[in-house]
């Protein structure tokens, strides 16, 4: 599933084609994705201007001049791709729609944006713009890791009482929003903390020190266009390339990239998910 860097990369790619632009026509080509799409969705979107594009955790929000916001979740395999004219971006010849192009936005500036989701784990909804925080998918989310509200003392206070492993705690979206399996593995490797270590047995200072590491990893991943392992592509159709900078994730048996460490990356299963770490330098 795309994590924060991949979603932010998609949001930034869509911005030149959508922000400030009217949706000339919206086309809904099936009634549901993961869940049923909103009633009269095409009608409620067509003719509306996109005021701005925002991201909350792993979700994109398109605020409309109707007072509603379009909530977009990419799911496991969802992609949003642009073709046609997109001012300030690029030109890509409009091709016939593909089988899994389920929702299509024909923009007034000549761009066409298609939401393609072969596995249909993605979702879209319409919510009142002044009440988006109460949406079931968004309420209860923790702080944005790149926002000002995310700091060392706050993270340490959220983690320290927990008796769960660090990996599980950092995946909890109530603790910090947007982190997933890939980036938690990368953060813990760079921080020298074992994913198996319990939160309540880790000092507040070490927990607080995770904040700059989280920011550094996420910012580097966004700059690289995210990580393309299976389905993720940027809105331009290009692949991300942060996977080439992985230090832990997916590197089972490979030499640890920490300077001075002669360990090898190990894979273990935690809560049904693969965890990659170096038992030599992550303690």
Annotated catalytic residues are 2-3, 58, 273
Q: Taking a C-beta distance cutoff of 8 angstroms, is the pair 52, 198 a contact? A: no
Angle between helices 210-223 and 181-191 (to 10 degrees): 130
Interhelix angle 4-18/210-223, nearest 10 degrees? 50
Contact 46, 24 (CB under 8 A): yes
């Amino acid at each position: 599933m795309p994590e924060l860097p991949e979603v932010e990369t998609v949001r930034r790619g869509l911005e030149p084609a959508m922000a400030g632009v009217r949706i000339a026509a919206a086309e809904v080509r099936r009634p549901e994705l993961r869940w049923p799409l909103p009633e009269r969705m095409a009608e409620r979107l067509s003719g509306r201007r996109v005021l701005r594009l925002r991201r909350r955790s792993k979700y994109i929000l398109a605020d409309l001049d109707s007072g509603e916001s379009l909530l977009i979740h990419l799911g496991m395999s969802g992609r949003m791709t642009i073709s046609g004219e997109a001012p300030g971006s690029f030109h890509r010849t409009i091709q016939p729609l593909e089988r899994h192009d389920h929702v299509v936005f024909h923009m007034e500036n000549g761009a066409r944006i298609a939401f393609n989701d072969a596995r249909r784990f993605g979702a879209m909804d319409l919510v009142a713009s002044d009440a988006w925080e109460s949406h079931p998918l968004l309420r209860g989310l923790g702080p944005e890791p790149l926002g000002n509200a995310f700091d060392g003392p706050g993270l340490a206070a959220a983690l320290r009482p927990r008796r769960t492993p660090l990996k599980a705690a950092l995946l909890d979206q109530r603790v910090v929003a947007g982190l997933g399996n890939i980036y938690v593995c990368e953060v813990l490797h760079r921080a020298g903390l074992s994913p198996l270590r319990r939160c309540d047995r880790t000092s507040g200072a070490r927990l607080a020190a995770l904040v700059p590491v989280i920011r550094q990893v996420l910012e580097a991943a966004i700059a690289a266009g995210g990580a393309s392992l299976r389905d993720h592509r940027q809105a331009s159709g290009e692949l991300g390339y942060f996977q080439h900078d992985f230090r832990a994730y997916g590197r089972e048996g490979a030499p640890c990239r920490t300077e001075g460490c002669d360990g090898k990356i190990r894979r273990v299963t935690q809560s049904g998910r693969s965890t990659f770490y170096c038992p030599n330098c992550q303690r």
